[in-house]
A and B are shown apart, each in its own frame.
Chain A
Amino acid sequence: MILFACCLATFLLGALAALLPRSYRAASAIGAGASVLGCLLGLIPAARALVEPQGWALTLAWPPPFGLGSFAIDGVSAMFLVPALALIGLAAVYGRGYLADQEGRRRAGPPWFFYNILAAAITGVFTARDPLLLLLCWEAMALSSYFLICLEDADGAVRRAGRIYLVASNLGAAFLLVLCLLPGAAWPPVLGAADAGLASSLGGMTPVAIPAGAIFLLALVGFGSKAGLAPLGVWLPEAHPAAPSHVSAVLSGVMIKTGVYGILRVLLALPPQPWWGWTLLTLGGATAVLGVAGALGQSELKRLLAWSSMENAGLMLLGLGLGALGRAFDEPVVAALGFGAALVHMVNHGVFKSLLFLGAGSVLHATGERRMDRLGGVLGRMPVTGATFLAAALGICGLPPLGGFASELVLGLCALKGLLLPQPGLDIPSLAALAALILCAGMAAAAFSGAFGVVFLGAPRGETAQHAHESPRAMRAPMLILAALVPLLGILAPLVLRAALRALAPAIPGAEALGAPTVEALTTATLVFGLLFALLGGLLLLRRALLRGRDVRTGPTWDCGYAAPTARIQYTYSSFTQPLAEMFHALTGPTGVLTRPWGLFPARAGHVAESEDRMLNGFLALFGFIDAKLEALHRLQQGQVHVYVLYIAATLVALLAWGLW
Chain B
Amino acid sequence: MLSLVELILVGLVLTNLVLLGTSRIGLCIRMVAFQGVGLALLPLLGLEALSPEPLVISGATALLKGWIFPLLLFRSLESAHVRAEVEPYVGYSNSLLFGVAALAVSVWLGGRVPVPGPGVPSLLTPVAFFTILVGLFVIVTRRKAVSQVVGYLVLENGIFAFGAVALRKAQLLVEMGILLDVFVAVFVMGIAIFRINREFDHIDADRLASLKE
Let me know if chains A and B touch directly in the complex, using CB atoms closer than 8 Å. Answer: yes
A632–B127 CA distance with the chains assembled, in angstroms: 41
A399-442 contact mask (Cβ, 8 Å, vs B): 1 or 0: 00000000000000000000000000000000000000000000
**Partner among A638, A642, A645, A656 whose Cβ is within 8 Å of the Cβ of B212:** A638
A640–B213 CA distance with the chains assembled, in angstroms: 11
* A639→B212 contact, CB < 8 A: yes
Tell me if A201 is interfacial: C-beta within 8 Å of chain B.
no
Residues in A whose Cβ lies below 8 Å from that of B140: 642-643, 645-646, 649
**Partner among A639, A646, A648, A649 whose Cβ is within 8 Å of the Cβ of B210:** A639
Residues in A whose Cβ lies below 8 Å from that of B109: 656, 660
Q: Which residue of B lies closest to A639 (CB)?
A: B209
Q: Give the B interface residue count (CB, 8 A).
A: 18
A637–B210 CA distance with the chains assembled, in angstroms: 11
Tell me if B113 is interfacial: C-beta within 8 Å of chain A.
yes
Instruction: Name A606-661 residues within 8 Å CB distance of B.
Output: 634, 637-643, 645-646, 648-649, 656, 660
With both chains docked as a complex, state the minimum distance between the C-beta of B106 and any C-beta of chain A, in angstroms: 11
With both chains docked as a complex, state the minimum distance between the C-beta of B132 and any C-beta of chain A, in angstroms: 9
Residues in A whose Cβ lies below 8 Å from that of B113: 660
Instruction: Name B66-102 residues within 8 Å CB distance of A.
Output: 89
Residues in B whose Cβ lies below 8 Å from that of A646: 140
Residues in B whose Cβ lies below 8 Å from that of A641: 148, 205-206, 208
Q: Say what secondary structure dominates the interface of chain A.
A: helix
A660–B212 CA distance with the chains assembled, in angstroms: 34
Q: Which residue of A lies closest to B113 (CB)?
A: A660
Tell me if B112 is interfacial: C-beta within 8 Å of chain A.
yes
Residues in B whose Cβ lies below 8 Å from that of A639: 208-212
With both chains docked as a complex, state the minimum distance between the C-beta of A597 and any C-beta of chain B, in angstroms: 50
A511–B196 CA distance with the chains assembled, in angstroms: 82
A642–B151 CA distance with the chains assembled, in angstroms: 12
* B139→A640 contact, CB < 8 A: no
Tell me if B23 is interfacial: C-beta within 8 Å of chain A.
no
Residues in A whose Cβ lies below 8 Å from that of B211: 639
* B112→A640 contact, CB < 8 A: no
* B213→A637 contact, CB < 8 A: yes
Residues in B whose Cβ lies below 8 Å from that of A643: 140
Q: What are 13 contact pairs spanning A and B, CB under 8 A?
A: A634-B213, A637-B213, A639-B208, A639-B211, A640-B206, A640-B209, A641-B148, A642-B141, A642-B206, A643-B140, A645-B139, A660-B109, A660-B113
Q: Which residues from chain A sit less than 8 Å from chain B, CB to CB?
A: 634, 637-643, 645-646, 648-649, 656, 660
9 additional contacts (CB under 8 A) given A649-B133, A660-B109: A638-B209, A639-B211, A640-B209, A641-B208, A642-B89, A642-B139, A645-B136, A648-B136, A649-B136
Q: Which 5 A-B pairs have the closest CB atoms?
A: A639-B209, A639-B212, A649-B136, A634-B213, A645-B139
